[in-house]
Every structure is written in C-alpha cells, then in structure tokens.
Amino acid sequence: PKRADVIISGACLIKRIMTFFHPVEVIVSDQGVRYGLLYERLDRLK
C-alpha cells in the first residue's frame, strides 16, 4: 500500500488524542477528509 509507512505513526497519534480528549465515539472514514466534511455538513441539515 502507498501509505503503509505512516500507519503506525497515525495510530500512535490517534491513541494520544483519544487519551487526552476521552471521546465518546470516533468516526473513521476510508474515503478522505472531503467526504468527512461533506458527511458532517449533511448531518447538520437534518
């Protein structure tokens, strides 16, 4: 995979963020930031 070299770093970063903020839920998108932003905007229209 193209981004295999950054998976470990990204996982460590997510773990630190979750430890700091204690989120109730985490939403993961396999499509990218633009789709996440679109999903968030559409959710606000409900």
Q: What is the pLDDT of residue 36?
A: 83
Q: What is the pLDDT of residue 4?
A: 83
Six token digits for residue 9: 């770093």
Longest C-alpha distance within the chain, in Å?
Answer: 39
Q: What is the pLDDT of residue 5?
A: 86
- 1-46 residue pLDDT tens: 677 888 899 899 999 999 999 999 887 778 888 988 898 899 999 7
pTM listed for this prediction: 0.54
Name the residue ranges covered by the structural domains of the chain. Answer: 4-44
Query: What would the DSSP string read from start to end of 25-46?
Result: -----SS-HHHHHHHHHHHHT-
Residue whose pair of structure tokens reads 């939403």 in the numeric block: 27
* Cα gap 6→26, rounded to integer Å: 20
* Cα gap 35→44, rounded to integer Å: 14
